[in-house]
Structure 1
Amino acid sequence: MVSNGDKIAIGVSGGKDSQLLAIALKELARFLPERLELVAITIDLGFEDFNRDRLLKFYDKLKIDYHIEKTNIAQVVFDVKNEANPCSLCSNMKRGAIHNAARRLGCNKVAFAHHKDDVIETFLMSLIYEGSIRTFAPVTYLDRKDITLIRPMIYCEESLIRSTVESLDLSPIPSTCPVDGNTKRQLIKNLISGLAEENKHIKSNIFGAIKRGDLNGWGS
């Protein structure tokens, strides 16, 4: 995933996943023989209660170069488009914004904090809501942007991330999105949780199927 001389933009929101990813990559850069340069990028969606001060302090303490990209994504998604299911459009616009910012800052890679549960949930969302069999891969090259996306925590379960964040006494910033907790992803998360009560292997079975199917760059 990483090579000598990489300049990696970490996509950060203030949530637990991206906080832990930033810490992990900073520690990794200290011990790897390869030379890595890290920058952190937050996409300011335009919500009024965006808390930039806590983010600035967090990345200043980590000594990671930090950039906030102001956008009007919230206005476009909720006011102009008035999306009934805004997550897909918002996600696409955020990705585009962070890819552009990363290229402008001279980065050749972008690191996202997606984890194992995200992979499984995205797979089921694609299957149920789109009728397609897909999810994101550990490494993806975007030829139009000439940038590589990496997901270093993709084999980590969300429960491990949560417990690690608690043990490090981190203080994730709550989401300011008005539909947070009331999304298709949350429905899928609840569905998986319910199925896991009957079959504790549900997550590992789905994840294994993704790998065995060599889906989107996944392979054994």
Structure 2
Amino acid sequence: MRLQQVLSYVRKAVDDYHMIADGDKIAVGISGGKDSLTLLYALHGLRRFYPQKFDIHAVTVDLGFGNLDLSRIESICADELQIPYTIVKTDIADIIFDQRKESNPCSLCAKMRKGALNEAIKKEGCNKVAYAHHKDDVVETMLMSLIYEGRFHTFSPVTYLDRMDLTVIRPLMYMNEADVIGFVNKNQVPVVKSPCPADGYTKREYVKQLLKKLNQENPGVKERMFTAIQDGGMTGWPPPDTSRR
């Protein structure tokens, strides 16, 4: 997938849900994975022609596993994209796996990681943070909520965090995971593998494989689920504004 195709998906999401306003300073949470790096390239490309002017600041929360090599991402930000990049060092891995020895570490890790990320973002003067959740993430989260919580819920395109005075946006929400993989492979984006020992062994991974099987056996089911989310009147999901297309 070419960058122009990625930009068409991102521009549509940004316009449909009014994600970006003139003068925004947007932090991009960079894990080093395929999704966050695709988002970084997309927002960098969008900034060149989007009518609302905005700035970007890349931020990575280093969990402290000791084997996370971010040198190529640092080079991309400094030399290729010319975007400021902040790496936040933490002891989250030690706290969760060594001190607390959590059997289900993902929830606590996510909370601690977001806390460290939000604190760094506010220090840099950003008013928004972009997360790299794509369409598969949206549907998988809805299925997880149904299966494990008994409610119809998923994260919204735009979320205001009143305690932090910070707005979360999700510009990749119209992209399929396969599109992201295609972009990364075609453009040889240097993805950094997650050092987390729980990676690939989570409830989300189970639901990811379940959705994949459902979509194979019932072609188009993922798209229909996504449409149901958009049209279901869920909190945080207003009808898309098609007037700006």
2:63–2:89 CA contact under 8 A, matched in 1: yes
**Which contiguous aligned blocks of 4+ residues in structure 1 show a shift greater than 6 angstroms?**
none
Q: Distance in 1 between matches of 2:43 and 2:200?
A: 28
* Residue equivalent to 2:48: 30
What secondary structure does 2:72 align onto? helix
Q: Deviations over 1:22-65 (max 9, x none)?
A: 11111111112322111000000011101121221121121110
Q: Distance in 2 between matches of 1:35 and 1:211?
A: 28
* Residue equivalent to 2:76: 58
Which runs of 5 or more structure 1 residues have no equivalent in the other structure? none
| Residue 123 (str. 1) matches residue 138 (str. 2) | no
| Residue 113 (str. 1) matches residue 143 (str. 2) | no
Q: Distance in 2 between matches of 1:31 and 1:93?
A: 36
Q: Distance in 2 between matches of 1:127 and 1:5?
A: 38
* Residue equivalent to 1:12: 30
What secondary structure does 2:160 align onto? strand
TM-score normalized by the length of structure 2:
0.86
Which runs of 5 or more structure 2 residues have no equivalent in the other structure? 1-18, 240-245
Which amino acid in structure 2 is aligned with residue 53 of structure 1?
S
Q: Distance in 1 between matches of 2:103 and 2:235?
A: 29
Q: Deviations over 1:117-157 (max 9, x none)?
A: 00111111122122332111100001111010000011111
Identical positions, percent: 49
Report the number of matched residues: 220
Relative contact order: is structure 1 or structure 2 higher (C-alpha 8 Å, sep ≥ 6)? Answer: 2
Q: Distance in 1 between matches of 2:122 and 2:189?
A: 30
1:49 to 55, 58, 67: 67
| Residue 207 (str. 1) matches residue 233 (str. 2) | no
Q: CA deviation at 1:215?
A: 1.6
Q: Distance in 2 between matches of 1:163 and 1:15?
A: 14
| Residue 133 (str. 1) matches residue 164 (str. 2) | no
- Structure 1 range deviating more: 65-74 or 202-211: 202-211
State the Cα RMSD in Å: 1.2
